[in-house]
Amino acid sequence: MVIELESRPLSILLVSPEFPPMSGGIGRYTYNLKKSLIELGLTVQVVCDGRGNGEFSGIAQHNARNSEILLDLVDKINPDIVHVQYEPGLYGLKLDMLNPAKTSTNIDSFYKFCEVPIITTFHSAYPFRQWMSLPIPIYELPQNHHLIKRAKRMISYWTRLINYRSFHRLNTQKLTLSAAGIVFSEFMSKTLGDEGCHLIFHGGERKDFGSGQIKSEIKKSYSIPEQGRIALALGYATATKGWDMIEKMDIPDHWTIVINASKNGSNNEEYHIATRKRNLINLHMDFLSEEQLSALFSCADAVILPYKVSSGSGIMFDGLSYGLPFIATQLAFFKEFALRGLGIAVKRKAEAFSKALLDLDISYDKYVKKISDFKNEITWHEVAKRHAELYRQIAKRKEQAVALPLEVGKQKSYLNLQSSRAS
């Protein structure tokens, strides 16, 4: 299937500061989406940080010129669609501690002046309680911290407190100035206000690299017990992952929890996990390659996600693509997929997660059956097809807008946008 506009393939510019070989889930997502779109016949190019292998570079997390660089690039290559992977922190999110109206990112002007339709995939949108959980809460600070460090934490907490509406405003402004928004869940759509949002699941697809290893051999190569069930906890080593709760769990004898914590290249946060229990293993392998991820998912039985905060989870979708049910905190995102029968969402308490492992054992086949029916919806081919159809609709709408401008408030009016940029 080739998605065309008139007699030529659609031309797409993907915008993502992260892109392989850089580590990061958004870069990995963008890579897989690009690959699958090209397989459908689209012309796809990526602009990213200079450390990534995109066709274009220059944008970066803290580059104040991101908007200028993107506007110049769009003028130069004239794509049919610009598709932004939007995570505010990757675009220099600045929270103003005195005047929330000044809170901004370094991509705001691009949205205001870009004359090509923008589609935005939203990777973060938080209800208030989760937003306030992002900094380390004051009551968790060790008493031996120096006064200046404690003061900085209190300032961070205050800044988040007064900036929640501003953070939400940045998201809704991007949605208003986009031809369409893409979200991974109904929860995300409702958080953003629904209008203009399209639900397209995060992709996830089993990858076999031809090693021919059986499950027991993979376990042995990672020093994982060959008997019993395995639950994986993977991702950046940040406090919001909630792995401190795993340390408090009474892990059932026939379960082993395997953690791999990688460093977050976007900030300096460090989080140390104690693994004193005999059935709790930390691999200490930092960022995993696709081959390593495939091996671990292939030998596992579940994914465990005791997160304090989550707008979405690529690890959950990856696990589902390998047929693995999840056990997660009872956050809105995870509850939505638990209601589909794909996993279990519980209160963030050690005893609740311990019991969930036992409950999963009892009904394991039921969860696997539900996942088998669902995972066809998240193959990268299916996800790319949904994207390509949306691109085609938006590109055609732009052509029609020359004679019939788009309705202001729902989509951008390109005639008004052109005149505002000229002024």
The confidence band for 128, taking pLDDT boundaries of 50, 70 and 90, is: confident
* 41-47 average pLDDT score: 97
Which residue ranges form the domains of the chain, and what is each CATH number? Answer: 4-203+379-422 (3.40.50.2000), 215-374 (3.40.50.2000)
Kindly list the distances between the CA atom of residue 311 and the CA atoms of 69, 95, 188, in Å, as whole numbers in the listed order: 29, 19, 7
Torsion of CA 150, 156, 162, 167, to 10 degrees: -160
SS3 call for 346: strand
pLDDT number for residue 153: 78
pLDDT of res. 75: 97
Distance between CA atoms of 385 and 420, rounded to whole angstroms? 34
Q: What is the pLDDT of residue 410?
A: 38
Say what the pLDDT of residue 264 is.
61
Separation of alpha carbons 337 and 349, rounded Å: 20
Average pLDDT over residues 107-131: 94
Per-residue confidence (pLDDT) for residue 13, from 0 to 100:
98
Question: What's the DSSP call for residue 55?
Answer: S
In tens, the pLDDT along 379-413 reads 999 999 999 999 999 999 877 665 454 443 334 33
Taking only the tens place, the pLDDT of each residue in 109-120 is: 999 999 999 999
Q: Tens digits of per-residue pLDDT, 269-317?
A: 555 666 667 789 988 887 788 888 999 999 999 999 999 999 899 999 9
- For 91-104, the pLDDT digits (tens) are 999 998 899 999 99
- Region of 259 (left: φ > 0; alpha: ψ -120 to 50; beta: rest) is beta
Strand partners, 346: 329
Query: pLDDT value at position 414?
Result: 37
Q: Could you give the percent of the chain with pLDDT greater than 70?
A: 85
Average pLDDT over residues 21-41: 95
Q: Note the pLDDT of residue 7.
A: 59
Q: What is the mean pLDDT of the chain?
A: 87
Question: What percentage of the chain exceeds 90 in pLDDT?
Answer: 63
Report the 10 Å Cβ neighbour count for 156: 16
Whole-angstrom Cα distance, residue 340 to residue 86? 27
| pLDDT (0 to 100) of residue 421 | 44
CA-to-CA distance for 423 and 413, rounded, in angstroms? 16
140 pLDDT higher than 80: no
Closest listed residue to residue 305, CA positions, set 368, 245, 365, 375:
245
Phi/psi-derived region of residue 223, left when phi > 0, alpha when psi is between -120 and 50, beta in every other case: left
3-state SS, residue 358 = helix
- Nearby residues of 247 by Cβ (< 8 Å), 6 or more positions away: 273, 274, 275, 276, 277, 280
pLDDT in tens, 49-69: 999 999 999 999 999 999 999
What length is written for the chain? 423
Phi, psi of 140 (to 5 degrees): -95, -5
pLDDT of residue 151: 80
How far apart CA 201 and CA 299 sit, in angstroms, is 24
Q: Which range, 34-38, 153-157, 232-236, 415-419, has the best average confidence (pLDDT)?
A: 34-38
Task: Specify the higher pLDDT residue, 96 or 145.
Answer: 96
Higher local confidence (pLDDT), 200 or 399: 200
Q: What is the pLDDT of residue 144?
A: 60
Structure tokens at 289: 């390659």
